[in-house]
Structure 1
């Protein structure tokens, strides 16, 4: 008992030391300095570290292990067995000794004859007559109380139709797991991209609110000085103070939303929340070229999106020749109806969507499953071999003496208690009738295959709808971006003129407050339009199957 306790304590100490050493060698997950992240770097980090994606990759490893399991069935199967039995009550069997004959004579041996033989005298044995009636069957126990057996067997599969089809299905199953991993990667890319753009927009809007506060502070200071000089009313100062208080509250809300967007980005990346980040991509670089996108979408437009001051404006696109507003409306209607322009229809490939490719792989698996069910009617051939030893004795000590053929007793008689055996052969298994089980299995596999074939049409329609929706959503978002950019320019100009008029004494303070409120609303709408365009662009890339390829490239 003490030795066992000591061994347990020793194992616990060794385990603790090993764990401590492992933790000491593990790299620190959180860095003190902020992590510089571009959109591509954020995506790369997420693909390598997102916990949900790592779990999906474990399923891929499981698929590879499943392939190895299937292949192992074609390798030699070796088994070693050993058993010991205490036959505390031996089974008896009836033996008919009368069948050996009765009513004849038999040799007799008396006590006198035995004594004479022991003294070295010659003894002549006499005969007696046996009864004519046969002896009834007698019960005899064959074997001894203790018995043992040990053997080694080998089998090798020579032919099995199901095994050959299983090898093909194993490779397809591994491909299916890989495509499911790709699907998970696409989802991660989509989530990280949207979270990154959301953070960019939130930070840009927060910076703009800070500039608005500075500008309003300047106007408030000038108005307060004018009030002290007696050229403005106290009501004008109070209106600006109310405006400033509202703007500060809005700035605080924007700050919290920015922090929340950063936390969401870290979550989508699988990054610890206490790790600081610094986004290196600019919002101006993320704003898309509306004219180029419209041309790619097959929609004619002479206007383009834009950007606020400091973010860079979007270049003006050249309108394709022969395009009109009527053509634009027709293209938009085409998008809504789910149809494609001739150019897009020629280049669109359903296989770009991982869902379509995954369904094709599932269809291949269903076909192999059907073939596997049918192959169950084929014979199965195996080569077998076995070799071992069996023994018996009256007690355990005698059983484990392991006496071989050269063993002799004290009087010179053979005393062997273990005997060897061996065999080689072929095993042919031919299925004849299984109660129609295989028939119904084939029917189920065939129905499953037909169901997947029907799913292709549904998936095509779904992809067409997503294509049309994403195209229309992106076109609308670009149009809204153009409109909000124009509204922002107008609101900024109105606010500038209102401030000049108020400073010159020809405008009212209420006009300045109203103009500033309209400017902030236009700024908010413009940044919301930018975010909508970026999100619509991500959805568009996902709908066309380009999101994953763009990330890999």
Structure 2
């Protein structure tokens, strides 16, 4: 798999398992929003049940309170019969007998087997909490997206650093291979000179020791390069068995130091005369005598930042700041939601169903309606329908101050987020200054190590020429080669520091994600 830095970042953003997990959380947030919205849609439920009342519940009934029938004490005379036969109204005396004085009688209502089935419908008409929840749904989704973006920024940072580390390790490995070849040439020439009697065996042995050390260093660099590739695959979410080839070169990856210095306001390493390297040692300001000393700089001016950095930093470029703003909006909606718990709640309700009972299970499932009759012609209906429609109004009156304390908690949470803004601003300011200083220092070190590398290479070249001409010692060659390899190691370490500092700088200014996209 051929990989440039952009391809590696693109693959990682699309395939790294940790990011996939974060996107699942984003989908969970979208599902949560759907759950909130569903509360305002019609709610339809169907229920059914069958029960075996193997022991019916009984209730006590006092029949004496209903008044008694004339069981005795009423006399029907012939005159009463005659009036009744003539169509006249007859009032018996007494009209009603006195009810017998009995105690409460236990009575069981219903039959052993019972069942019912029903469908109920409800539609929310007004609920303050629901209306605020709809507003919070979009904010909640935005928060999940920003959290995903934060995870993507971290992945871009990790992949970029791992890619640069591999480039530096690969370039250093190639340089070590060339050093071994060059040392082999010097060793061969020295050995031939020794055989001709113009060099000592000690000179040959010194070079062999130097070569052995260099070969061991080359082997270590080879293993470290393989480890860098493995780390890059891990940061990308790529299987370790997948072979890769990095298509970017280290030369193309090295940033333009001059442009960076102009953007950062760093002084030139060569002359110390400013970002453009203009001017040497500054002359005395006008109006001051030769022996006068200049006044100390006014403390606090520019906060120690270069002129290019005096413009106000746009905190919204940082995803952390934007995420905190979203959390603040969500906390405000949560506060309003808890306050809305004091509002009435109105809903439309409707239900329709059937209920039945019987002495046996088979009789219960006979499902006899109002037109059903038995063999004697009597109605024997065992299932009866019912239905209702209405409005349900719920008015909170007193909840033991529960809502009061919920509102207090929401206010405290909102204030905590507001306090966090100042802390985050200070943290971003510190990261901005720290990343600028680190990058400036890394650029200065890179310039210094580049100059040292050029000097060490020139010294090694002249030393070899002198040794081949017979006017230099073998010890000088070994010392020069050692210094050259040290300069090379320091140079590539400085390159890596600059690349990593540039990534940290882009992350601090909020530009890393934009560049990756």
Instruction: Provide the TM-score with structure 2 as the length reference.
Output: 0.89
Q: For residues 459 and 277 of structure 2, what CA distance do their matches in structure 1 show?
A: 34
Q: Evaluate the alpha carbon distance shift between residue 373 and residue 339 of structure 1 in structure 2; reply closer, same or farther with a 3 A threshold.
A: farther
Out of 281-290 and 521-530, give the one that drifted further. 281-290
Q: Which residue of 2 aligns with 1:36?
A: 2
Q: Which residue of 1 aligns with 2:129?
A: 162
Q: Which residue of 2 aligns with 1:273?
A: 240
Give the conservation status (yes or no) of the 8 Å contact 1:337–1:468: no
* Structure 1 residue 334, shift from structure 2 partner: 10
Q: How does 1:171-186 map to 2 (within 5 A)?
A: 171-186=138-153
Q: For residues 132 and 62 of structure 1, what CA distance do their matches in structure 2 show?
A: 72
Matched, 1:222 2:189: yes
Q: Which residue of 1 aligns with 2:423?
A: 458
Matched, 1:533 2:498: yes
Matched, 1:319 2:276: yes
- SS of residue matched to 1:299: coil
Matched, 1:53 2:19: yes
Q: Which residue of 2 aligns with 1:112?
A: none
Give the conservation status (yes or no) of the 8 Å contact 1:338–1:464: no
Q: Which residue of 1 aligns with 2:171?
A: 204
Unaligned runs of 5+ in 1: 1-34, 109-126, 305-316, 327-332
Q: For residues 364 and 58 of structure 2, what CA distance do their matches in structure 1 show?
A: 21
Give the conservation status (yes or no) of the 8 Å contact 2:263–2:308: no
* Structure 1 residue 97, shift from structure 2 partner: 1.7
Give the conservation status (yes or no) of the 8 Å contact 2:372–2:380: yes
Give the conservation status (yes or no) of the 8 Å contact 2:2–2:244: yes
Q: Which residue of 2 aligns with 1:484?
A: 449
- SS of residue matched to 1:139: strand
Q: Evaluate the alpha carbon distance shift between residue 324 and residue 420 of structure 1 in structure 2; reply closer, same or farther with a 3 A threshold.
A: farther
* Structure 1 residue 91, shift from structure 2 partner: 1.1
Q: For residues 65 and 58 of structure 2, what CA distance do their matches in structure 1 show?
A: 19
Q: Which residue of 2 aligns with 1:62?
A: 28
Q: Which residue of 2 aligns with 1:263?
A: 230
Q: Evaluate the alpha carbon distance shift between residue 143 and residue 528 of structure 1 in structure 2; reply closer, same or farther with a 3 A threshold.
A: same
Q: How does 1:497-536 map to 2 (within 5 A)?
A: 497-536=462-501
Matched, 1:398 2:398: no
Q: How does 1:209-358 map to 2 (within 5 A)?
A: 209-301=176-268, 303=270, 319=276, 339-346=304-311, 348-358=313-323
Q: For residues 520 and 265 of structure 1, what CA distance do their matches in structure 2 show?
A: 26
Q: Evaluate the alpha carbon distance shift between residue 249 and residue 76 of structure 1 in structure 2; reply closer, same or farther with a 3 A threshold.
A: same
- SS of residue matched to 1:346: coil
Instruction: Provide the TM-score with structure 1 as the length reference.
Output: 0.84
* Structure 1 residue 140, shift from structure 2 partner: 1.2
Q: For residues 101 and 378 of structure 1, what CA distance do their matches in structure 2 show?
A: 51
Give the conservation status (yes or no) of the 8 Å contact 1:38–1:279: yes
Give the conservation status (yes or no) of the 8 Å contact 2:264–2:308: no
Residue correspondences, number: 482
After superposition, the CA RMSD in angstroms is 2.4
Q: Evaluate the alpha carbon distance shift between residue 430 and residue 189 of structure 1 in structure 2; reply closer, same or farther with a 3 A threshold.
A: same
Q: For residues 402 and 281 of structure 2, what CA distance do their matches in structure 1 show?
A: 67
